[in-house]
Chain A
Amino acid sequence: MDKQDNNHIIPYKLYLTVLAGLITMTIVSVGVTKIDLGNLSVFVAILLASSKSALVLVFFMHLKFDNTLLKILVTSVFILVALVLFITFLDYNYR
């Protein structure tokens, strides 16, 4: 078994900062719909959404303190999804 060091203490302040970040991004993602970014609007929305889920994964779900294997696996999945979306937009952006 890997070391079970699950009892790291995370200061409340960190959690609150992350929460503030999440709320700010939510507000930004609503606000940004008012501006016409053309093709980039979907990109911006996806970028904001992924940054939010990354924050949740890293801090709230403790990925930061997990073993390297899990970090690699989760990152690879993110890259995979990004590539799939990228290729999909090779169709939508150039039609």
Chain B
Amino acid sequence: MTKHETVSFREAQSRYKGIFAWIFSTDHKRIGLLYLYSIIIFFFTGVILGAAMKLELLAPGKTVMDAATYNAIFTLHGVIMIFLVVIPGLPAIFGNFMLPIMIGAKDVAFPRLNLLSWWIYVIGAIIALSSLFMSGGPPDTGWTFYAPYAFKTNTNMLPAVIGAFILGFSSILTGINFIVTIHRMRAPGMTWFKMPLFPWTLYGTGWIQILATPIVGITLLMIVGERIFSIGFFDPALGGDPILYQHLFWIYSHPAVYIMILPAMGAISEIIPTFANKSIFGYKVIVISTLAIAFVGYFVWGHHMFTSGMSGTALYTFSLLTFIVAIPSAIKVFNWVGTLHKASIQLETPFFWAASFLFVFMIGGLSGLALGALATNVHLHDTAFVVAHFHFIVFGGVGFAFMGAIHYWFPKIWGRMYNSKLATSGWIIFFIGFCTLYLPMFFLGVSGMPRRYYDYVERFHGPNIVSTIGSWVLILGLVIIVYNLIRSAYKGEKASKNPWGGRTLEWSVDSPPTLENFEEIPVVTRGPYDYRKKTEA
């Protein structure tokens, strides 16, 4: 064994020094961390914008900002959180870092393409956000850029739209990379059905990234064409159809919600068996439901357009399909709960995040069904109820899974342990804040408070105060969590190879892993969650 093989990927020497050793690195682990740090910066920007909106809604009338600013802020908040945070989120960070290790490979199939995707991401992000500093200000259309307003508004639409277009390429490259890696680079013996579930969900996600992203790319270009050349795709005055825009946008953006949630489900499927000390219940069913979600998820986009004036035939088809897509998600919930049944559970922070994921994901999913039914949708569409729904799923589901994942893989990535008391108190405060922030919005939506307004009638005041206080509690929790993780990355106790007793391959390599992950590519003989016999730690 040479020395090169024993130092961790952080200490390994490369051609470049200092920061260049990171931003020009083709090591999948370094790229994963580059994504982590950039995404965290955008996430905090988004959180600040969100908190500003909640502050405005503390009281009716103008509180801290005027209507135009509020409109720009919810647009930026949405663009940042969706395109810059949750879509790359789990795949780009944990997918990059863990996928090769979990399938027993030394890197992804195309390491340079991988680095390119991060660069494209950064460039797209800078362009998208540049409108902030231009006269005219950031767009005020909402993250959905609906026509015809999107080509009428005088704000800086083009940077946001072109930025989102560029970001799409980053997503496509990551998808291609993961699919090829999974097809070609699994360790000997790792058959498809011996592959852990997180890689499986990345596989499903990869296909959505490749096949759905080009559609939004074209659509955004059509908006650009419409604004600059007045072509008439969407403008009724020129013979266009504004609903066509909504179709095209949601043909991508509904599958995109599965780009967000599938890897989150994958991370939960890793955490639960480890802390239950038990093989996952119904492995194959989870795999099949993952693929089913990825497939059926393409055909439900119309549920965002129930009140837009589609034909009756389209309405009930989309409603039916929406109910069908909820089935595979529900199956997974049963599998996770089934895994916990009669298990001797290790109560550690990642497990708390996973358990609370189940709770918020159920609320989010069931409220989705209330929205998916045609009659209730007419009442609830474009109210605070929709905002509550997708925050429960996106922030609650994807966000909680992200938190679970970072607390689960922290010892592997940084080679140190965090203070678990502090981490758990951060979790409970965050969880309480989260519910206080978003539960009142269900109530507000049912009683008729529309979304995307900076003002409301006196009747809605009470629940809005509760909700704003919730946002403060949530931020407090967030600060504790982040403080603890940053401190522990430097000062935490050294972690062993396998602190939680996980069975997947990443727990058999050093913490942090060496540059090439494995001294020797392992030969896989067991299933991924084989808890029958203890392996030596």
> Which residues of A approach B to under 8 Å, CB–CB?
77, 80, 83-84, 87-88, 90-95
**How many residues of B are counted as interface, with CB atoms below 8 angstroms from the partner's CB atoms?**
16
Q: Is the CB of B299 within 8 A of A91?
A: no
B298 touches A80 (CB 8 A): yes
For A87, the closest partner residue in chain B by CB is B299
> Which stretch, B306-314, B348-356, B511-519, touches the partner chain A?
B306-314
Q: How far is the CB of A24 from the nearest CB of chain B, in Å? A: 28
Please state if B312 and A94 are interface contacts (CB–CB under 8 Å): yes
Q: What are the 9 closest A-B residue pairs judged by CB atoms, nearest first?
A: A94-B311, A91-B314, A94-B313, A95-B311, A91-B310, A90-B314, A90-B313, A91-B311, A90-B317
- Residue pair A83, B317 in contact (C-beta under 8 Å): no
* Residue among A88, A90, A91 facing the most chain B CB atoms (10 A cut-off): A91
Residues of B within 8 A of A84 (CB): 251, 298-299
Residues of B within 8 A of A92 (CB): 311
The answer to whether the Cβ of B247 comes within 8 Å of any Cβ in the partner chain is yes
| B211 CB within 8 Å of chain A | yes
**Which residues of B are found within 8 Å of A91, using beta-carbon distances?**
243, 247, 302, 310-311, 313-314
Measured between C-beta atoms, what is the minimum distance from B377 to chain A in Å? 16
What CA separation (Å) do A1 and B413 show in the bound complex?
A: 32
Taking A93-B311, A94-B314 as known contacts, 6 extra A-B pairs with beta carbons closer than 8 A to each other, sorted by chain A number, are: A80-B211, A88-B247, A88-B251, A91-B314, A95-B309, A95-B310
Note all chain B residues with C-beta closer than 8 A to A87.
299, 302, 314, 317-318
The answer, among A77, A80, A83, A90, for a CB contact under 8 Å with B311, is A90
Per a CB cutoff under 8 Å, which of B298, B309, B312 touches A83? B298
| A94–B310 CA distance with the chains assembled, in angstroms | 9
Interface residues of B (CB under 8 A from A): 211, 243, 247, 251, 295, 298-299, 302, 309-314, 317-318
Number of A-B contacts (CB under 8 A): 37
19 contacts between A and B (CB under 8 A): A80-B295, A84-B251, A84-B298, A84-B299, A87-B299, A87-B317, A88-B247, A90-B311, A90-B314, A90-B317, A91-B310, A91-B311, A91-B314, A92-B311, A93-B311, A94-B311, A94-B312, A95-B310, A95-B311
Interface residue SS majority, chain B = helix
Q: In the complex, which residues of chain B have a beta carbon less than 8 angstroms from the beta carbon of A94?
A: 311-314
Q: A90: which B residues are within 8 A, CB to CB?
A: 311, 313-314, 317
Q: Is the beta-carbon distance between A83 and B314 smaller than 8 angstroms?
A: no
Main secondary structure, interface of A, reads helix
User: A9 → chain B, closest Cβ, in Å?
Assistant: 28
**Whole-angstrom distance between the alpha carbons of A95 and B311 in the complex?**
4
Q: How far is the CB of B180 from chain A (nearest CB, A)?
A: 12
Residues of B contacting A88 with CB < 8 Å?
247, 251
Q: Please report the C-alpha to C-alpha distance between residue A50 and residue B298 in the assembled complex, in whole angstroms.
A: 20
Chain B nearest Cβ from A16, distance in angstroms? 32
| Assembled-state Cα–Cα distance A94/B251 (Å) | 19
Q: How far is the CA of A80 from the CA of B295 in the complex (A)?
A: 8
Q: Give, as a whole number of angstroms, the nearest-CB distance from A86 to chain B.
A: 9
Shortest CB distance B251–A (Å): 6
Cβ contacts under 8 Å, B243 to chain A: 91
Which A residues lie within 8 Å of B317 (CB)? 87, 90
A91 to B317 alpha-carbon distance, docked (Å): 10
Complex Cα distance, B463 from A34, in Å, reads 61
What is the CA–CA distance of A92 and B251 in the complex, to the nearest angstrom?
15
CA distance in complex: A59, B375 (Å)? 50
CA distance A92 to B311 in the complex (A): 7
CA–CA, A92 to B305, complex, Å? 14
Inside 8 A of B318's CB, which chain A residues have their CB? Answer: 87
B458 to chain A, nearest CB (A): 40
Q: How far is the CA of A93 from the CA of B251 in the complex (A)?
A: 18
A67, chain B: closest CB distance, angstroms: 11
How far is it, in angstroms, between the C-alpha of A51 and the C-alpha of B318 when the chains are bound? 28
Q: Are B302 and A77 in contact (CB under 8 A)?
A: no
Q: Which residues of B contact A83 (CB under 8 A)?
A: 298-299
- Which residue of chain A has the shortest Cβ distance to B300 in the bound complex? A87
Question: What's the minimum C-beta distance from B300 to chain A, rounded to whole angstroms?
Answer: 9
- Chain A residues near B295: list those with CB within 8 A: 80
For the complex, give the distance between the alpha carbons of A92 and B244 in Å. Answer: 9
A10 to B488, CA, bound (A): 63
Provide the bound-state CA to CA distance between A55 and B244, in Å. 29
Q: Give the distance in Å from the alpha carbon of A83 to the alpha carbon of B251 in the complex.
A: 12
Least CB distance from B323 to A in Å reads 15
